[in-house]
Amino acid sequence: MYRKLFFLSCLIAVSVFFTAAVSAAAPYYEGKTIRIIVGYSAGGGYDMYARAIARHFGKHIPGKPDVIVENMTGAGSLIAANYMFKAAKPDGLSIGHFNGSLFFNQVLGQPGVEFDAQKFVFIGAAVKEGMVFIFTKRSGITSMEKLMASKVPVKMAGLAPGVNTDNNIRLIKSAFGLPIQVITGYKGSADIRLAMEQGEIAGSSPTWISIRSSWGKALQSGDAVVILQTVSEPFSDLPKVPLAINYAKTAEARQLIEVGIHSASIFSRAFVLPPGTPREQVQILTKALTETLKDKAFLAEAQKANLDIEPVTAAELEKSVSSIFKLDQATLAKLKDILFK
């Protein structure tokens, strides 16, 4: 009798121990939801990439969590950047995707920055930034020569001081002395596209990858025209569109483009975690993003949506961000005068 009771007690103890062990071994992300906080409105390039990644990201994470996208607009995604640094919990459940060009705002000591770019935890990027100058046909600006020759200021739309769209326009304007008036404050590329279609503005400087699909029909019909590429190497599908660097006639103009535009292209579309995120979650999410960007189903979806995939590693992002904090004072003063004048 006592032997049976002892044996039964042992079975119960083993069962309880086994259950506890299984429970302890359950993946951290099981039953949880990961949020990707996008700093721009729905329909723009940042949003399109985030949503495409979100549809495949969870299956590469142990526990297969749900992954959702939340749009947190305002100040050219500065609100989202500040949120990720100050308010988002470092629990591996919040990923930020905002405009990395805002890191220049910190370097240049601009008000409103409540983050330290060097303390964000980078997990990678799907693509480098590659921007163009695009105008509507109705504006009459269908080539760089026509922009240069304009007798009146040409209105170009921006998002907020310090973000890549505004930086691109202001730097190119300064480097070449162009007659451009920057109209800033739009919430995202989708809003800028609508303003251009309505004739409110003549053009803007968005990323080629975001407008190639969203402006597909207008580009094919000629109602929208790309007149300039601000990348270091030309896009294969824009063989006849000139590079901005080729218009640089002085060392100063070349430096403005290389430092202010080309270098920033590397970290503009980074995915980041809040400071203090546990190493285990960082490793899981970094690996999951890397695997997602190689996932055949994801790549097929990206190709269908005309989304270029040119992965940037976390290490590359950290190195690139660190470099802008090492710029000399003369260069910083010049950039500050141009970008925030």
pLDDT tens-digit series, residues 32-87? 999 999 999 898 889 999 999 999 999 999 999 999 999 999 988 999 999 999 99
Residues facing 35 on adjacent strands: 68, 94
- 158 and 251 part of one domain: yes
Per-residue pLDDT at 52: 97
- The predicted model gives 300-319 an average pLDDT of 93
Q: Give the C-alpha separation, 151 to 132, whole Å.
A: 22
Whether the predicted model's global pTM rises above the 0.85 cut: no
CATH number of the domain enclosing 161: 3.40.190.10
Helices 296-304 and 45-57, packing angle to 10 deg: 150
- Residues 94-119 have a mean pLDDT of 94
Q: With respect to residue 204, please indicate whether it lies within any of the assigned structural domains.
A: yes
pLDDT in tens, 208-240: 987 887 888 999 999 999 999 999 889 989 999
- Identify the domain containing residue 70 by its residue range: 33-128+266-332
For tokens 């995120």, name the residue: 277
Banded model confidence at residue 276, pLDDT cuts 50, 70, 90 = very high
User: pLDDT of 250-262, one tens digit each?
Assistant: 999 998 898 889 8
Reduce the secondary structure of 3-22 to three states and give it as a string.
HHHHHHHHHHHHHHHHHHHH
Lowest mean pLDDT among 20-29, 180-189, 244-253: 20-29
> Is residue 45 situated within a structural domain?
yes
Surface-to-core class of residue 9, CB atoms within 10 Å of its CB (0-12 exposed, 13-18 middle, 19+ buried) = exposed
Using pLDDT thresholds of 50, 70 and 90, give the confidence band for residue 11: very low
Q: What is the pLDDT of residue 7?
A: 46
Return the H-helix or E-strand segment holding 66.
strand 66-71
- φ and ψ of 218, to 5 deg: -65, -35
Shared domain check, 276 and 246: no
Domain match, 249 and 286 both: no
Same domain, 234 and 139: yes
| Number of domains forming the structure of the chain | 2
Q: How far is CA 269 from CA 8, 27, 153, 246, 321, in A?
A: 60, 29, 30, 25, 12
DSSP one-letter code for 262: I
Q: Report CA 78 to chain centroid distance, whole Å.
A: 12
Q: Is residue 5 part of a domain?
A: no
Average pLDDT taken over every residue of the chain: 90
Q: What is the C-alpha end-to-end distance of the chain, expressed in Å?
A: 91
Same domain, 58 and 86: yes
Q: How many residues does the chain have?
A: 341
Q: What is the pLDDT of residues 160-179, one digit of tens each?
A: 888 889 999 999 999 999 99
pLDDT of 287 > 50? The answer is yes
pLDDT for 13 beyond 70: no
Phi, psi (degrees; rounded to nearest 5) at 309: -120, 115
